Amino acid sequence: MCGLSLGYVFKPPYFVDLEVYRKYYTDVTEMVSAQLFISQRFKELYDRSGLRGLVEIHRAEIETLRQCGQAKRMQLPPMPDSYIANPQPIGVATDHKLSETEFYLGREPTCSYCRYGSILRQNCFVLDESTWNGDNIFRLLSIGGTIAVDQNFKDWFDDNHFTGIKFIRAEEDSRDYAPGLTPQQYYDRYSIYEKKKKEAE
């Protein structure tokens, strides 16, 4: 392994400053650290579901709760018990060839484990199934802070009418950070920008 950090994980005890933008509390919210902020109902049903992938679930204490947007004018009920859930620290790698991934020049993956690199564009997400241990919810190694689920998890989520997350099919999740530019064209343009920036300092 290369030793590169693929994201950070907050450790308990958890004290949360919460902002609410809806007229109701959602069951699950994805945090920037690839952790999930979940409701009591989500926790109870997950514990009985037989699904795998969430290895640590700890109580979260709400320090402050601020109502924003449309929730600002609403009388919300008391905040129910909430928890922070952590997926397995061992994640699943992306098959960059099948995903048709292009990287910034000089920032291609060098580690065969995490396969992390600076992505210029990606046509879709195809996982390397040889790195998947069968968990229903898991981290994506090559994209820090991102969580993925299998069809069984999505079906369970939908059947229980949970709120808070919109799922995107992996084969439909494309991204392009430099439309119309090849890696070489982007590199040349970026190099000129950096040169002008240094000259102006």
Q: What digits encode the pLDDT tens for the residues 146-166?
A: 889 999 999 999 999 999 999
Question: How many CB atoms sit inside 10 A of residue 80's CB?
Answer: 11
Q: What digits encode the pLDDT tens for the residues 27-49?
A: 999 887 778 999 999 999 999 99
Residue 163 lies in a domain: yes
Q: Which domain, by its residues, includes 196?
A: 93-131+173-201
CA dihedral 120, 124, 125, 126 (to 10 degrees): -120
Question: How many Å apart are CA 31 and CA 196, to the nearest integer?
Answer: 37
Domain shared by 54 and 31, yes or no = yes
pTM for the model stands at: 0.78
Domain shared by 47 and 118, yes or no = no
Average pLDDT on 163-178 reads 88
Domain shared by 45 and 125, yes or no = no
Name the residue among 3, 34, 10 with its Cα closest to residue 139: 34
Q: Assess whether pLDDT exceeds 70 at residue 4.
A: no
Q: What digits encode the pLDDT tens for the residues 87-142?
A: 887 778 888 899 888 888 877 887 776 777 788 888 888 888 998 999 999 988 76
pLDDT score recorded for residue 164 = 92
Q: What digits encode the pLDDT tens for the residues 57-87?
A: 999 998 888 888 877 777 878 888 999 999 8
Contact 116, 4 (CB under 8 A): yes
Domain shared by 75 and 101, yes or no = no
pLDDT score recorded for residue 14 = 86
Domain shared by 160 and 122, yes or no = no
Residue 138 lies in a domain: no
Residue 83 lies in a domain: yes
Question: How many Å apart are CA 131 and CA 76, to the nearest integer?
Answer: 44
Question: How many Å apart are CA 201 and CA 188, to the nearest integer?
Answer: 20
pLDDT confidence band for 144 (50 / 70 / 90): low
